[in-house]
Amino acid sequence: MKRPCAGICRVAAVIFLLAAGAWTSAQERFITVASTTSTENSGLFDVLLPRFREQTGIGVRVVAVGTGKAIRMASSGDADVLLVHHRPSEEKFVAEGHGVERLDVMYNDFVIVGPDADPADVAGRGVSAALGNIAAAGAVFASRGDESGTHRKERALWKAAGVEPAGAWYRETGSGMGATLNVASGIGGYALTDRATWLKFANKGDLEILVEGDAVLFNQYGVILVSPERHAHVKAADGQAFIDWLTSDPGQEAIDAYRLEGRQAFFANAARR
């Protein structure tokens, strides 16, 4: 006798078997790190994390978002370790009791990119002069507008330049660094970006680096263990192990050794203890 729904039943069986697979994936030892898109997109974690895991057996799950969102995530206890790049926000995070201690890990720098035609004439200038020229020329500037570390840095730079960025030329994308660079590339605008994201960015179009090397473009990354007193479930020991490794010689050497497009992308500068 032929079953009436043989075909459908077979499909259903396959679906349920596949579904069961999703729930049986092995539970491993891991910590969750809230970090920024720049560190993730640069490929640095792809080199660091397997090494750390090899030495300690601890897996690291990185959720890469803007610094602002990463800090909010960590504040609500959804991460064990915070690795971001906006020192005032990081210090506030620790001062409010969300974090245990803030440590330097590494730095690189920001650059201002823009169309090679450079309509606002900013090439080779200092940051304040460059931003002043962009505003005066009304040249299009693509801003993150997402409370990320880069966005906060950018606002501080406008403030230092004595310019209130507003008007049709100032475009807030409200999205990540890469997406913002896509906008700048698409409309021939200027943008502030960290160097690692820029090096890895594949849709440069006619954009190129126009301003770099100014001391104010320094970009420090810090690491913080989320307070286990505030959030009892935080994996303090494994999180601390990750922080200890990052700031120790093997971790620092791995950071320095990482090359992006043949260039050193991050410079380790943890205080040796």
Partner 1 sequence: MRMVAEADEDLVEIVLLSLEVSLSAVAIAAVIGMPLGAWLTMYRFPGRRVVIALLNSFMGMPPVVLGLVVYLLLSRAGPLGQYGLLFTPQAMVFAQTLLVLPIIAALTRQTLDDLHRDYDEQFRSYRIGPLPGTFILIREGRYSLATALLAGFGRASAEVGAVMIVGGNINHVTRVMTTTIAMETSKGDFSLALGLGIVLLTIVISINALVLLLQSREKLA
- Contact set with partner 1 (CB under 8 A): 2, 4-8, 10-12, 15-16, 18-19, 21-23, 25, 32, 37, 41, 45-46, 61-65, 76-78, 175-179, 181-182, 185, 200-204, 231, 233
Q: Are 84 and 67 in contact (CB under 8 A)?
A: yes
Smallest distance from the beta carbon of 177 to partner 1, in angstroms? 8
Which has the closest alpha carbon to 79: 17, 32, 139? Answer: 32
- In this complex, which beta carbon is closest to partner 1, that of residue 34 or of residue 130? 34
Helices (H) and strands (E) in the chain, counts: 11, 12
| E strands, 41-156, in order | 59-64, 81-84, 99-115, 141-143
- In this complex, which beta carbon is closest to partner 1, that of residue 98 or of residue 131? 98
- In this complex, which beta carbon is closest to partner 1, that of residue 100 or of residue 131? 100
User: Could you count the other beta carbons within 10 Å of the beta carbon of residue 73?
Assistant: 18
Query: Which helix (H) or strand (E) element contains residue 129?
Result: helix 127-137
- In this complex, which beta carbon is closest to partner 1, that of residue 133 or of residue 182? 182
- In this complex, which beta carbon is closest to partner 1, that of residue 159 or of residue 204? 204
Residues 147, 178, 188, CA angle at the centre, nearest 5°? Answer: 100
Smallest distance from the beta carbon of 92 to partner 1, in angstroms? 18
- In this complex, which beta carbon is closest to partner 1, that of residue 10 or of residue 29? 10
- Taking CA atoms, 141 is separated from 71, 81, 104, 198, 260, in Å, by 26, 33, 31, 16, 26
Smallest distance from the beta carbon of 160 to partner 1, in angstroms? 28
Which has the closest alpha carbon to 79: 262, 243, 252? Answer: 243
- In this complex, which beta carbon is closest to partner 1, that of residue 6 or of residue 168? 6
Helix runs in 138-248, H state only? 149-161, 177-187, 195-200, 236-247
Smallest distance from the beta carbon of 132 to partner 1, in angstroms? 29
Smallest distance from the beta carbon of 124 to partner 1, in angstroms? 25
Smallest distance from the beta carbon of 74 to partner 1, in angstroms? 10
Q: Are 33 and 81 in contact (CB under 8 A)?
A: yes
Smallest distance from the beta carbon of 201 to partner 1, in angstroms? 5
